[in-house]
Amino acid sequence: MNGHQQTTQTLPALNQQAQPSLAKWLPLTQQAIEGRPVNTVNARELHAFLTVGRDFSTWMKERITEYGFHEGADYVLIPQIRGTKQGRGGDRRSKEYALSLDMAKELAMVERTDEGRRARRYFIDCENLLIAVAPELNQVAVERWHGEREASKDYCKLMNDSLEGHRLRLGKATLGHHYSNEANLINRLVLGMDAAKWAKAHGVSVPIRQHMNAYQLSLVAYLERSNATLLDAGMPFNERKERLLEMLATKVKREAQQ
């Protein structure tokens, strides 16, 4: 994704009003995510504050995989020079992650420590203050979420209709668990785990789609629409699963490069 230049100016007023004790540890900066300026926190600083017992790189990569975070939607990468290697020429570069506040909140929550709870409260306070000082920006985000949510509902019906037609052509009835199997397939592809596990990990209730962010909902709608097409073509479940996985990976990679 282009234009990910870091804004060096932090937001001291926002941090101090939200919770001064954490502003020193977790200052906010602005990054371009999905083509708009977003308040972010440095992942390495969050890792240090949470006193995670693993090295930063391993922790970050595992969390991204485990919880289905996407570059260009939940975080952006910022190249950083971190000195030189002993006995070798040139600079040593490492990955620095700028996390959206939603992603930072989730990472803080799953650590289940006092520091994690303090950090999550801090990010919530920052968002509440943003709503107070920039309500028009918050309204744009809310409207986008509702738009993606409605789209996912429409494509869910389209997918279910295609499922019924697919099974009818096979001479089979469509029962309740057949619909849930398709929904679970889409949820696992987008979230990296089934709905029940994701809900438990994030401390939310079901149905989980009311807790997804706008980007996740857009991916759900994309996969449901694509799955409907594959069902209409008569493709078996396992083949559809592999095809949808490939399509999702291509879509996310393409959008991250835009």
Q: Which is nearest to 125 in space by CA: 6, 20, 10, 9? A: 20
Q: Which amino acid is at 11?
A: L
Give the range of the structural domain holding residue 79, as residue numbers without chain letter: 12-133
**Counted domains in the chain:** 2
Q: Flag whether 7 is in a domain.
A: no
Please check whether residues 124 and 147 belong to one and the same domain. no
What the block records as the tokens of 92 is 């040593």
Torsion angle in degrees (nearest 10) through CA of 251, 146, 123, 200: -80
With beta carbons less than 8 A apart as the criterion, state whether 216 and 190 touch. Answer: yes
Averaged over successive runs of 10 residues, the pLDDT of the chain (258 residues) comes to 38 35 68 76 88 88 88 81 44 73 86 81 72 52 55 78 94 92 90 82 72 78 91 94 91 72
Please check whether residues 22 and 43 belong to one and the same domain. yes
Q: Flag whether 173 is in a domain.
A: yes
Total Cβ atoms within 10 A of residue 228 = 22
With beta carbons less than 8 A apart as the criterion, state whether 83 and 142 touch. Answer: no
| DSSP for 31-92, written as a single string | EEETTEEEEEEEHHHHHHHHT-SS-HHHHHHHHHHHHT--BTTTEEEEEEE----TT--S--
pLDDT at residue 83, rounded to an integer: 43
Tell which of 133, 157, 187 closes a domain.
Answer: 133
With beta carbons less than 8 A apart as the criterion, state whether 159 and 227 touch. Answer: yes
Does this model's pTM top 0.75? My answer is: no
HSE-up of residue 231 (Cα within 13 Å, Cβ side): 22
Tell which of 107, 133, 159 closes a domain.
Answer: 133
